[in-house]
């Protein structure tokens, strides 16, 4: 059964899902969505995803949305296939959940603001709020200092194994490093930089960037 | 004859002592086991995220000890606490040698580890139901929480810290929150609880911030939507939560 992924391949949340499906060796089909023409606010799309955001997946007659929920679903469903993304024990899974929550609650908000104001708004001809950009950069720097400390003791975020927690960071960090000129935030932190080089060189991520 | 008897007696005494010793070992192991088994939650009763964890532990019927963190003196920003939680936030869970933070990670861990205890909050064994629970936990994280937090923060948390409420910010937030609630109203028209016709971690995770909202005039946002209102009345009357709500005193 092929999983249909509704969403443009360039958005962070869609890429997060695709990276997971590729790591687990799950067949997928991309159904592109034209965000510029507000396809995500179209009534037919809202039946699938009532909040009008991307992505949404259709797996037969089963629909799921929120990228981090999709991640957990497939990592659990295909636990014995592809890369193990949830750790091996209940305790390891707890630590994976912890860093996945850190990504969702502490990393995502400031980095998303930077991406929206420095990449998306210019494309739309909307002026960036530079005060908000500055505040978000400061917040993100504090979060990255904590990551630097963590990654000095542990190869990956949840331990010495790659997991959903690391994977979830790939899309936004890719934009930070290679698109909005803030790569210094990663490169100035030795362990964060090594971690970034490691996770972004995974074949799954390279594949996502080609889609 | 004497030698045999003394040997038998000696053997008999040895076997009794060894049984006694075994008994004492088993008893002391049980005591040790139950002593080390009590989970510790570092947090404070009125904190929303602490309440989320405590409600989950209650639903799972798991014993715990609440270790207060003195926010007033900045205990959560001091080195001893930062060693447990580098972001300086409550709550933190200690389960033997595992330390976990982020309330939604703690509740996920507790729900999985104690899957055979109390209420099945994550629909263990039914992958699709579990998937839907995950969806609505993420919706709370990414849609509901960012919309409701500014209201609760402006009305109760900022004043507690000595600041004053920005009413314009509250009104702007209330408008956004109303739009999110419209989606919830539509969802709860087709389903008794968020993930289906069963109470789950998805519903539980909404309790703490909504509890504080309901203490304000903005309770109207919930009360004006009949299915959301019915859902709120149901989930907030569960004993696992009402016990926790007794200590949620930020709103007076």
Residue boundaries of the structural domains of chain A: 3-77, 90-210
Residue B182 to chain A, least CA–CA distance (Å): 10
B50-80: pLDDT as tens digits: 999 999 999 999 999 999 999 999 999 999 9
Break chain B into its structural domains and give their ranges.
39-113, 127-245
Instruction: Give, for B40, the enclosing helix (H) or strand (E).
Output: strand B39-43
Q: Is CATH 1.10.3720.10 the classification given to domain A90-210?
A: no
d(CA B65, CA B34): 13
Please state the rounded mean pLDDT for residues B196-225: 98
Between the alpha carbon of residue A49 and those of residues A209, B23, B41, B122, the distances in Å are 25, 60, 36, 22
**Which position has the higher pLDDT, A105 or B33?**
A105
- Cβ of A51 and B183 within 8 Å? yes
The pLDDT of residue B160: 87
| Residue-wise DSSP of B151-206 | HHIIIIIHHHTT----HHHHHHHHHHHHHHHHHHHHHHHH-SSSSSSS--HHHHTT
Q: Residue B116, SS3?
A: coil
CB proximity list for A93: less than 8 A, separation 6 or greater: A86, A87, B109, B112
CATH, range B127-245? 1.20.1050.10
Contact B138 A68 (CB under 8 A): yes
Crossing angle (nearest 10°) for helices B48-59 and B103-113: 10
CA distance B232 to A25: 41
Q: What is the pLDDT of residues B81-131, one digit of tens each?
A: 999 999 999 999 999 999 999 999 999 999 999 999 999 999 998 999 999
Q: Give percent of chain B with pLDDT exceeding 90.
A: 81
Give the C-alpha separation, B14 to B19, whole Å: 8
Q: Beta strands A28-31 and A3-6: pairing type?
A: parallel
Q: Is A102 on the interface with B (CB under 8 A)?
A: yes
Measured CA to CA in angstroms, residue A86 lies from A58, A91, B93 at distances of 23, 10, 19
Q: Which residues, given as ranges, of chain A have pLDDT below 50?
A: none
Superfamily name with CATH number, domain B39-113: Glutaredoxin (3.40.30.10)
Is residue A90 less than 8 Å (CB to CB) from chain B? yes
In angstroms, the CA B54 to CA B48 distance is: 10
Residue B20 has pLDDT above 90, yes or no: no
pLDDT at position A131, please?
Answer: 98
- A61 contacts chain B (CB < 8 A): no
- Asked if A146 reaches chain B (Cβ–Cβ under 8 Å), the answer is yes
Tell how strand A28-31 and strand A56-59 pair up: unpaired
Q: What mean pLDDT is reported for chain B?
A: 90
Q: pLDDT-based confidence at B1, cuts 50/70/90?
A: very low
Look up residue A3 and give its two tokens.
């999983």
- In chain B, which residues have their Cβ closer than 8 Å to the Cβ of A90? 109, 112-113
Label residue B32 by pLDDT band (50, 70, 90): very low
- Residue B98: the pLDDT is 97
Q: Indicate the pLDDT class of residue B9, thresholds 50, 70 and 90.
A: low
pLDDT attached to residue B73: 94
Q: In the numeric block, which tokens belong to residue A53?
A: 């955001």
Please check the confidence at residue B34 and state whether its pLDDT lies above 70.
no
Residue A72, chain B, CB below 8 Å: the answer is yes
Q: What pLDDT, on a 0 to 100 scale, did the predictor assign at position B156?
A: 94
CATH T-level assignment (fold) for domain A3-77: Glutaredoxin (3.40.30)
Domains A3-77 and A90-210 share a fold: no
Q: With bands split at pLDDT 50, 70 and 90, how would you rate the model's confidence at B23?
A: low
- CB contacts under 8 A, B 100-159 vs A, are 100-102, 104-106, 108-109, 112-113, 127-128, 130-132, 134-135, 137-139, 141-143, 146
Is there a contact between B86 and A149 if contact means CB atoms under 8 Å apart?
yes
Structure confidence by residue, pLDDT tens digits, A98-150:
999 999 999 999 999 999 999 999 988 999 999 999 999 999 999 999 999 99
Q: Which residues pair with B92 in a beta bridge?
A: B42, B101
pTM: 0.91
**What per-residue confidence (pLDDT) applies to A56?**
98
pLDDT reading at B204 higher than 90:
yes
């Amino acid at each position: 059964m092929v999983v249909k992924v509704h969403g443009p391949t360039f958005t962070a949340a869609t890429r997060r899902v695709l990276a997971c499906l590729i790591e687990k060796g799950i067949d997928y089909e991309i159904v592109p969505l034209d965000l510029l023409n507000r396809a995500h606010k179209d009534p037919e799309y809202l039946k699938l995803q009532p909040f009008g955001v991307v992505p949404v997946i259709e797996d037969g007659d089963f629909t799921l949305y929120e990228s981090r929920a999709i991640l957990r679903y497939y990592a659990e469903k295909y636990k014995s296939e592809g890369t193990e993304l949830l750790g091996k024990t209940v305790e390891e899974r707890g630590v994976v959940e912890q860093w996945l929550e850190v990504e969702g609650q502490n990393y995502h908000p400031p980095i998303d603001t930077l991406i929206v104001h420095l990449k998306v708004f210019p494309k739309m001809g909307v002026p960036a709020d530079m005060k908000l950009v500055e505040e978000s950069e400061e917040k993100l720097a504090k979060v990255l200092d904590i990551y630097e400390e963590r990654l000095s003791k542990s190869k990956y975020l949840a331990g010495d194994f790659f997991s959903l927690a690391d994977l979830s960071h790939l899309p936004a960090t890719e934009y930070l490093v290679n698109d909005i000129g803030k790569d210094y935030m990663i490169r100035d932190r030795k362990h964060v930089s090594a971690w970034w080089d490691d996770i972004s060189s995974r074949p799954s991520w390279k594949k996502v960037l080609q889609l | 004859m004497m030698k045999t008897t003394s040997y038998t007696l000696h053997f008999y005494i040895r076997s009794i002592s060894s049984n006694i010793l075994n008994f004492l070992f088993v008893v002391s192991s049980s005591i040790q086991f139950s002593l080390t088994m009590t989970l510790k939650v570092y947090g404070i009763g009125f904190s929303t995220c602490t309440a989320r964890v405590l409600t989950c532990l209650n639903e799972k019927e798991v014993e715990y000890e609440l270790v207060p963190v003195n926010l007033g003196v900045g205990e959560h920003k001091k080195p001893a606490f930062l060693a447990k939680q580098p972001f300086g936030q409550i709550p933190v869970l200690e389960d033997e040698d595992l330390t976990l933070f982020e309330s939604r990670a703690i509740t996920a861990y507790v729900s999985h580890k104690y899957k055979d205890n109390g209420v099945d909050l994550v629909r263990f064994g039914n992958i699709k139901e579990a998937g839907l629970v995950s969806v609505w936990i993420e919706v709370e994280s990414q849609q509901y929480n960012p919309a409701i937090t500014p209201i609760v923060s402006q009305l109760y948390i900022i004043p507690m810290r000595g600041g004053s409420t920005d009413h314009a910010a509250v009104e702007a937030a209330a408008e956004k929150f109303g739009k999110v609630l419209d989606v919830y109203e539509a969802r709860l028209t087709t389903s008794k609880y968020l993930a289906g016709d069963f109470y789950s971690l998805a519903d539980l995770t909404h309790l703490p911030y909504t509890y504080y909202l309901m203490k304000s005039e903005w309770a109207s946002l919930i009360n004006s939507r009949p299915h959301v209102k019915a859902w709120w009345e149901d989930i907030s009357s569960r004993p696992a939560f009402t016990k926790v709500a007794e200590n949620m005193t930020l709103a007076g």
